[in-house]
Amino acid sequence: MSHLFKIIMISTVSLNAFFMVLWTDYKTRYKLFRLFEVSELIFVSIYSSEFCMKLYVDPIDYWKDGYNVLDVVIIITVFIPYGLRKFKGKHYPYLNIADGIQSLRILKLITYSRGIRTLITAVGQTVYTVASVIILLFVLMYIFAILGFYLFGVPDGGDMNNWGNLAVAFFTLFSLATVDGWTDLQHQLDARNFTLSRTFTIVFILLASFIFLSMFVGVMIIHTEDSIKKFERELMVERHMTLMEEKQVILKRQQEEVSRLMQRRKNVDYKSFSELVENFKKTLRHTDPMVLDDFGTSLPFIDVYLTTLDNQDTTICKLQELYYEIVHVLNLMLEDLPQKKQSHSSENVDEK
């Protein structure tokens, strides 16, 4: 389950796939034949060792995982060519098929890639829906195959190569459904002056290609999007769990440090509490992550923040009212000041 082991296995499978590509070139196979033989032994040994280690660690639950069963099937296919060469000889006619299925080794990457497993899960969820679409398409092709056989497959002047029997008619309709070479098929029908051929071709292509195949693609896209969203939710949950575990480890270590310092405080006389705090700060690590997961979007924080803003607005409002009152008082004082000066001057004149 370690990350290093996964990297080693992914590199091994990728290198094996690259060597199999080189093996398909006869000149390269001739020049590097000894290297290919040695590398094949190494790859088979690594695959076998991986299987034995996983089976040793969990011999019962190992068989409950479908991807582990896939690995076992791949390992069996790896040993098939060796068995055929041993018991049937190098000139066994089906030996090429056994060598060809060695390309299944690249499927071992599925075990170590969560993204690929997500897509496979999406494909698996669409089995029943896709099967229904395929059955409807088969029914449609059956109807048009019978109709095409009786319209264009008549012995006298009919297109026997494309509509001569039901099997050939099905193959022709498959070509029309994929819109592959349908113009050539239509030219052959036009050459025999079939009046309904164009209507037949257009209606079938509209139904089979534009409706049923689009429906098939739409079903695949919908289930793939659902699987990707589920995969993203799982990643978020795993990330949250990892952060919580790190937080618990940090809090536990800090609690142990505080307990140890408090115990030392009983045994050693500190001059002040600040000295105890300074000693605790020395135990903190700069590499410790600060777990503030969604702090700024938590409901308690938003409540406190909005309450603080309200209090701040109220304080500003009161300060403005106070300033207005001060300005008003000063204005009244300035208005009264000339009158006092005049009264004071008139009193002086009277005294004189």
Q: How large a percentage of the chain has pLDDT more than 90?
A: 9
Instruction: Answer whether residue 294 shows pLDDT above 70.
Output: no
Q: Using CA atoms, how far apart are residues 210 and 349, in angstroms rounded to an integer? A: 113
Q: Using CA atoms, how far apart are residues 291 and 248, in angstroms rounded to an integer? A: 10
Residues 6+ away with beta carbon under 8 Å from 192: 152, 157, 158, 159
DSSP character string of 320-345: HHHHHHHHHHHHHHHHHHHHHHHHHH
Instruction: Answer whether residue 42 shows pLDDT above 90.
Output: yes
Neighbours of 47 (CB within 10 A): 21
What DSSP designation does 94 have? T
Q: Using CA atoms, how far apart are residues 228 and 223, in angstroms rounded to an integer? A: 9
Q: How far is CA 116 from CA 122, 227, 228, 271, in A?
A: 10, 11, 11, 63
Residue type, 330: L
Please give the pLDDT value at position 24. 87
Please give the pLDDT value at position 15. 93
Q: Using CA atoms, how far apart are residues 27 and 6, in angstroms rounded to an integer? A: 33
pLDDT, mean of residues 320-347: 77
pLDDT, mean of residues 156-170: 85
Q: Using CA atoms, how far apart are residues 136 and 150, in angstroms rounded to an integer? A: 22
Q: Where are the alpha helices (DSSP H) in the chain?
A: 3-23, 26-31, 33-57, 66-87, 95-100, 114-125, 127-152, 160-163, 166-177, 182-191, 197-205, 214-267, 273-281, 299-351
The confidence band for 275, taking pLDDT boundaries of 50, 70 and 90, is low
Please give the pLDDT value at position 261. 65
Higher local confidence (pLDDT), 347 or 257: 257
Residues 6+ away with beta carbon under 8 Å from 92: 84, 85
pLDDT, mean of residues 145-171: 86
Please give the pLDDT value at position 43. 92
The confidence band for 142, taking pLDDT boundaries of 50, 70 and 90, is very high
The confidence band for 343, taking pLDDT boundaries of 50, 70 and 90, is low
Q: How large a percentage of the chain has pLDDT more than 70?
A: 83
Q: Using CA atoms, how far apart are residues 9 and 310, in angstroms rounded to an integer? A: 60
Instruction: Answer whether residue 285 shows pLDDT above 70.
Output: no
Q: Using CA atoms, how far apart are residues 183 and 191, in angstroms rounded to an integer? A: 12
Instruction: Answer whether residue 233 shows pLDDT above 70.
Output: yes
Query: Which of 1, 19, 12, 36 lies closest to 108, judged by CA?
Result: 12
Instruction: Answer whether residue 66 shows pLDDT above 60.
Output: yes
Q: Using CA atoms, how far apart are residues 345 and 351, in angstroms rounded to an integer? A: 10
Instruction: Answer whether residue 237 shows pLDDT above 60.
Output: yes
